[in-house]
Amino acid sequence: MIDTDVGSETDAVIIASSVHEPELFTALYERHAPAIHRYVARRLGTDMADDLMAETFLIAFRQRESYDQSRPDARPWLYGIATNLVAQHAKAEARMWRTIARTGIDPAMDSPADRVVEQVSASGTRRSLAAALARLHPGQRDVLLLTAAGGLTSTEIATALGVSPGTVHSRLNRARKKMRAAFGGIDPLDVPEGLDR
């Protein structure tokens, strides 16, 4: 059992305690839901983000008894669940990237005013970026966006996707090469070469 102030507890402790006190799982949700929502919104747009973020935490709640307690940070686990859900909606994601490429409007933006400012200042870049992302293999896109939008390290991405860190590095290298080729040698996402921070 943990203290009622779960703010200082690791994710692993919260998850383990929630097996017997399910209401404690709320702390994990409050801690990570905004980041998971942003990640899904970036991949599928805000309409899908609400549903898939909720579904991510529902799946996590149902699987909490099998969580690997040796991992104090649940972010890779949660991002892995979210990425699997995104993969199930791959057609919607590809459609979203094509829409951005065609219109220059990013549906994951916070407000219509932000959209107008952003569209005026970077419409061409956003379209090119979306088109280049749409052309990536889904595994490469997953790794690139988990790095750029999720802020995960290669080790965390490997955990999230259930692949080796070497696979993460090779997918990221291929994705970066394709993105640089699409942008004349410049990496538009400015993803750090060394993922391990």
**51 within some domain:** yes
- Please name the residue that has the structure tokens 């219509």: 112
**65 within some domain:** yes
What tokens were used for 51?
Answer: 């549903």
**66 within some domain:** yes
Domains of the chain: total: 1
pLDDT higher at 185 or 162: 162
**178 within some domain:** no
Measured CA to CA in angstroms, residue 196 lies from 118, 157, 169, 193 at distances of 31, 10, 10, 9
**129 within some domain:** no
**115 within some domain:** no
**184 within some domain:** no
CATH number, domain at 83? 1.10.1740.10
**76 within some domain:** yes
Predicted confidence at residue 188, as pLDDT, reads 65
pLDDT, tens digit, 9 for 90 and up, residues 33-74? 999 999 999 888 888 899 999 999 999 999 999 999 999 999
Range of the domain at 28: 7-88
pLDDT, tens digit, 9 for 90 and up, residues 68-126? 999 999 999 999 999 999 888 877 667 777 777 777 766 655 444 444 445 444 556 67
Angle at 19 between CA 14 and CA 21, to 5 degrees: 75
What is the CB-side half-sphere exposure of residue 73 using CA atoms within 13 A?
Answer: 11
Task: Tell me, letter by letter, the H, E, C secondary structure of 156-197.
Answer: HHHHHHCCCHHHHHHHHHHHHHHHHHHCCCCCCCCCCCCCCC
